[in-house]
Amino acid sequence: MVIESDHKKKVAEQLDLFQSVFHLLDENYVDEIDPEKLIRVSIDAMLKSTDPYTAFYNETETRERNKSWKGILYAGIGASVVMRDSNMIISEPYAGYGAWQNDLRAGDQLMEVEGKSVKGKKLDEVIKLLRGEAETSVHIKIKRGDKGLFEKSIIRKEIHVKTVPYFGMIDSSVGYIKMDQFLENTSMDFKEAFQDLKKKHNCTSLVIDLRSNNGGLVDEAVKILGMFLPENTLICTLKGRQSAEAKQYKTHTQPLDTFIPLVILTSEKSISAAEIFAGCMQDLDRAVIMGQKTYGKGFVQGTRFPGYGSSLYVTAARYHTPSGRCVQQLDYSKLSEGKVFSYADSVKEKFFTKNHRPVYNKGGIEPDTILKNNLTDEVIQSLMQSYFIFDFANAYRNSHASIASVKTFQLDGKNYNLFIQSLEKKDYQFETRADKHLKELERNLSIQASEKDFFQKDFKHFKSDLRSFKKKKILENSGKIKDLLAQEIIRRYNTVIGVYEYSLLKDQEIRTAAKLLLQMKAYRKILHDDQ
């Protein structure tokens, strides 16, 4: 084709131009250039003009990335570390790893690693010190509140991602499986969880929780879908510019259960393979989708190998669910100066599920039943991000040797009031959008001292009103805040597993999903299933 030939000619011309500029720069620049660094900067800048998912990895990064697909992150002490006010803080020790086994706790301040102070170091430098070869020891010194300094020698272990971190029974018949990602062997972990629930706990219906699932390998999603759909069922179709023909993903094994009623929970952070999973189940009317609209990533990436051990992770196709829709929400073809926009409603098309229910493209997966996210309130979000809840849970853990079982634990009124008093003492210093706007206005007016003086009284009123607003919103959301405090405290004693167990009892979205599965008439009505 003439058009394709013209395109290849332009590519060749631009590559020749780039090579000429690079050689001229190398020969004429006042200092000797670092060719590897310059090329990497060039590649990264070039890829920024495409989409956020297309990326280049050098040889070392490629090896690490290949390990991550297998669920292996690195070898370390098994704890996340954050920088807070120039201090290195343990934010969470992971169950079963060295940090947890040596009683490191959230809130502990890291002081030294191998006898070297971490003061003044960057976060990535400290993390590098903590990591190393598996089965080697690392000596650290930590500070815990006013309890003084502690020294620990911890054996590094390979840190593995648990893509199915929890499963259990919501009640006597409804099972629950949480899935965080689709990596190698996720399907095996899911199968074990599902079979355990059926054989040992008499599970007759199931909630699959894909909230905040950040996707991964399409093949793994297909394998799990194949447990609930007939063999040779179309899951999705990949269509790319270079494909001679569309690539189809189909189930290729005998299913485990094609009749068990299913509810899939989604959120705004359910993305990529999670959307393929939910979109397929919705299109085939095999499950009810509940929660919030998903992220809307309809792209699929493939890996290419430019050479020298490097790899290019490139957006190569769009996936289409069985009904034919692509759920990509952002239009990167019109990317301009780093700005990207959602597709307009006017260009969205209607498609139909197996039972002729309408669904739409270019906007994520819209749930069959939309549930309000109890944590989207701005004050709740600000409170969570400000470390107030984190700090309170740490103080509680350091003053209580144990707590009641997850099933019976409740934050009593006395301790909740202590938390509210701590907010009042700190003058509700967590920041909302209104706080940010007010600070920006103050900064702008500070340029002209006379104007700032003129508005000073108004600023005092605004700040007073904001404090009253926060206080009012906290009162309105007291139930949610108590719940968050309880979860964070439980996490200190029982890790994230305890939080999942607590969620089965308290999480309203999980409870709503379970309730629907106990009402088959309502369940079938949503799916337009007349059987």
Nearest to 416 by CA among 472, 474, 375: 474
C-alpha dist (Å) from residue 170 to 164, 174, 175, 521: 16, 6, 6, 20
| Residue 235: both structure tokens together | 């899951």
Residue 183: which of 216, 205, 160 has the closest Cα? 216
Query: Residues of 438-449 as b/e, b for ≥16 C-beta within 10 angstroms?
Result: beeeeeebeeee
Tens of pLDDT along the chain (531 residues) come to 556 678 889 999 999 999 999 999 999 999 999 999 999 999 999 999 999 999 999 999 999 899 888 888 889 999 999 999 899 999 999 999 999 999 999 999 999 999 999 999 999 999 999 999 999 999 999 999 888 899 999 999 999 989 999 999 999 999 999 999 999 999 999 999 999 999 999 999 999 999 999 999 999 999 999 999 999 999 999 998 876 568 999 999 999 999 999 999 999 999 999 999 999 999 999 999 999 999 999 999 999 999 999 999 999 999 999 999 999 999 988 777 678 889 988 889 999 999 999 999 999 999 999 998 877 678 888 888 889 999 999 999 999 999 999 999 999 999 999 999 998 888 777 777 777 777 777 777 665 555 556 666 677 777 777 788 888 888 888 999 999 999 999 999 999 999 999 999 999 999 999 999 999 999 999 999 875
- The pTM of the full predicted model, rounded to 2 decimals, is 0.91
Domain 73-160 has CATH 2.30.42.10: yes
Domain over 219-371 is classified CATH 1.20.1260.120: no
Can you give the residue ranges of every domain in the chain?
2-50, 73-160, 219-371
How many angstroms separate the first and last alpha carbons of the chain? 53
Strand order of the sheet with strand 205-209?
166-169, 174-178, 205-209, 262-266, 288-291, 369-370
CB 154 within 8 A of CB 75: no
